[in-house]
Structure 1
Amino acid sequence: MSLDNIYVGLDMGTTKICVVVARKNEDDSIDILGIGNVPSKGIRRGVVVNIEATVDSIKKALVEAQRMSGIEVKTVTAGLASGHIKSFNKRGTIAVKSSEVTKQDVDRVIESASAYNMQLGEEVLDVIPQQFILDGQTEIKDPVGMNGVRLEADVHIVTGAVSSAQNIIKCCEKAGIVVDDVILEQFASSQAVLSEDEKEIGVCLIDGGGGTCDMAVYKQGAVFHTAVLQIGGNHFTKDLSIGLSTPESEAEDLKKEHGCVWMPLVSDDEFVDVPTVGGRPPRRVGKPVFTQILQARAEEVFHMFKGELQKHKLLELMGAGVVVTGGFSNFEGIEELASEVFDLPVRVGRPINIGGLTDVVMDPRFSTGVGLAIYSAKKGKGGQKISRGGEDKVFGNIFTRMKGWMSEFF
């Protein structure tokens, strides 16, 4: 098998490390060949806090993915989690040098819109054009070749800690692989679970992980807004641990087995056996009590995101509604609760438009990993023929490419 058409996504989350191996076929369809999924050690809220533990987790995930796919993984496209990410919209304006807009004019107006006084250790990770405006005419996607005098650009700027990306690359190098590209995780998830029609009409993607919940809003095919909440699946686990007086490890198992966030789906005669501490026998707790704890936290997350949409006057623009993905979306009743909070259509986002091991990766937990592989395949990034290079060189190349995302995502 030729390795030139093999692409790999690496999702380094707070609770899991996931490696997804994909093949791009001649007709541009994508098949999933293998997946490695192991508990994450050494990452908190998307930031590496223990390099050796993270490296060990990456190696274990690689072994699983390579065994399932039969492919030796050399390069990956990695996800950049959002615990340190900030984003905002800006507009830039220039005068067109000649009567016809050129590619150089587009570059200049985007550069004008991207001017930003960064703090120490901060880097502009992404500049995503939303629309161009030429002499007052709005919603232009590509102004090159058009006649005009005044060119404006609305862009979405994403910034983050440069050290976070450096540590991801360092961990991968120590695990014996090269990071060929880095992409923000909510953008990766959108590659896997959103249709182009949804992005055009207007859709809000909520990606709930173990350490954070990320939001990306699309309109007219472009990213209009992103936001991050420092609340994730681990907070649900801690709520259960405290509310039910049970160890966090037991609370995590209970959450996965009985997790429900919509009270109308449970009845008073349903009970859950809750392990206790100190050798005491398990206690029987009514399922409504269990559900009430989880629903309260889920409502908090959705109301905070709804407030974010209202603040930026985006709620009424979500014609395609809300798509919820990530491990957070596996709670029973998540669609019903989100629909009530947002008063919009809601669906759970699972990877779409893929072949191969679809039954394995249909879990929303794998949306980011699959999206990273899809992005890599679409852009021709990360083919396994790429040779290993030095960390500094790799990091420099990645940030050069990151600054070129403006054309790839628009």
Structure 2
Amino acid sequence: MKQENVYVGLDIGTTKVCVVVVKKNQDDSLDVIGVGTAPSVGLRKGVVINIDATVNSITEAVREAEKVSGVQIKSVCAGIAGGHIKSFNSRGIIAVKNREVTAKDVDRVIESASAVDIPLGCEVLHVIPQQYVLDGQTEIKDPIGMNGIRLEVDVHIVTGAVSSAKNILKSCERANISVDDIVLEQLASSEAVLSDDEREIGVCLIDGGGGTTDMAVFKRGAVCHTAVLQLGGNNFTRDLSIGLNTPESEAEKLKKLYGSVWLPTTADETIAVPSVGGRPPRKISKPVLTQILQARCEEIFQMFLGELQKKQLIEFLGAGVVVTGGLSNLNGIEYLAQSIFELPVRVGKPLNVYGLKDLVDDPVYATGVGLAIHAAKKGHQQVKISKGSDEKVFSQVLKRMKSWFGEFF
């Protein structure tokens, strides 16, 4: 198989590391040819806290993906997430010099919108244009070549701790993998599970992982808001462990076997709960487990609802809410989300990939598939960014992360 037709997404999550390998066909369709997963023990809430453990997880997942695909993996498109990610909107205004908008004018107006104060220790990761306004005419996607005097742009700015990106790069480098690009994870997931129509009409994507739950809101085809909540699947597991007096390892098994967040659809049956200290298992009613999980899920959705209301975005969500990630595998998730958001809700699984599609036909693979799709759309035109001194890596990461938005959207 020709290596230049193969692209790889690397999702370094709190509970698992996932590698997705796709092959790009002549008609630009994508075939999944390999998937590899491994338990992740070197991250907490989406951030690397143990490089050696992370390297081992990456190596194991890559080895499995190579075995399935028959391709040697040399480079990847990696994701970034975590509580350090912050975002806000900004506007820039310039005067058009020669009455005709050029690419330099577009660069200048985006630079004007980017001239904002950011928290100490953070850097701008993405500056994503939402719309251009030329002499009062709104909703312009590409103003180049148009005549006007006053050019404005609304942008969405994402900031984050670059140290987190550098730790991802360092972990990949030690696993003998180079990094082509780094992408905010909920934006990568949106590439895998959202349609163009949903982005245009207005949609809220909620991506629930092990350590964090991420949100991205789209309207008129562009991202207008992102947020990260430091609550995820591990919190559900911990709640069950405390509420049922059982070890976390057993609570995780119960969550996967019987996990439900909608009490009306939960059967009134009993399940065996392992005890601690060598005590015999106990019998509990299944609705008790559901009530524990439902309370935590309601908390997460209510916090996101408050965020949407605060930003006055509810009215723009014509396509409703799409829930993806491990969170969406809990039974009744759609019913609970509908009751809270009062909007149409669906579970987001990876779309528009073929080949071994059944290997990724699960919301937990949304980010990995999205990263692979992003890499395939861009090709290998970019320079690898994981080699060199820390200072060089730092500047290259920022350059790549600031430039990908134009091609992504």
Scaled to the shorter chain, the TM-score interval is over 0.9
Q: Is residue 321 of structure 1 aligned with residue 337 of structure 2? A: no
Cα separation, 2, equivalents of 1:106 and 1:129: 10
Q: Which amino acid aligns with 1:76?
A: V
Dislocated runs of 4+, deviation >6 Å: 385-388
Conserved 8 A contact 2:162-2:394: no
| Structure 1 gaps, min length 5 | none
Shift of 1:397: 2.9
Distance 1:398 1:386, change over 3 A: closer
Partner of 1:396: 395
Q: Is residue 295 of structure 1 aligned with residue 290 of structure 2? A: no
Cα separation, 2, equivalents of 1:161 and 1:26: 39
Q: Which amino acid aligns with 2:263?
A: M
Partner of 1:147: 147
Cα separation, 2, equivalents of 1:260 and 1:95: 56
Partner of 1:59: 59
Conserved 8 A contact 1:173-1:391: no
Over residues 58-95 of structure 1, what are the superposed CA-to-partner deviations in whole Å (9 max), with x where a residue is unaligned? 11111100001001000000000132100000011111
Partner of 1:335: 334
Cα separation, 1, equivalents of 2:323 and 2:305: 13
Shift of 1:396: 3.4
Partner of 1:80: 80
Partner of 2:379: 380
Partner of 1:173: 173
Q: Which amino acid aligns with 2:401?
A: M
Shift of 1:408: 1.6
Shift of 1:391: 5.5
Shift of 1:98: 1.6
Partner of 2:247: 247
Shift of 1:146: 1.3
Q: Which amino acid aligns with 2:301?
A: F
Cα separation, 2, equivalents of 1:20 and 1:398: 22
Shift of 1:390: 2.9
Over residues 315-345 of structure 1, what are the superposed CA-to-partner deviations in whole Å (9 max), with x where a residue is unaligned? 0110111000000000000001101111111
Partner of 1:286: 285
Conserved 8 A contact 1:222-1:409: no
Shift of 1:382: 8.0
Q: How does 1:203-352 map to 2 (within 5 A)?
A: 203-268=203-268, 270-352=269-351
Distance 1:298 1:198, change over 3 A: same
Shift of 1:100: 1.2
Aligned Cα root-mean-square deviation (Å): 1.5
Q: How does 1:114-193 map to 2 (within 5 A)?
A: 114-193=114-193
Cα separation, 2, equivalents of 1:277 and 1:37: 30
Conserved 8 A contact 1:45-1:212: yes
Alignment identity in percent? 67
Q: Secondary structure of 1:404's match?
A: helix
Cα separation, 1, equivalents of 2:373 and 2:15: 22
| Structure 2 gaps, min length 5 | none
Cα separation, 2, equivalents of 1:32 and 1:298: 32
Q: Secondary structure of 1:4's match?
A: helix
Cα separation, 1, equivalents of 2:97 and 2:85: 36
Conserved 8 A contact 2:179-2:385: no
Shift of 1:388: 7.8
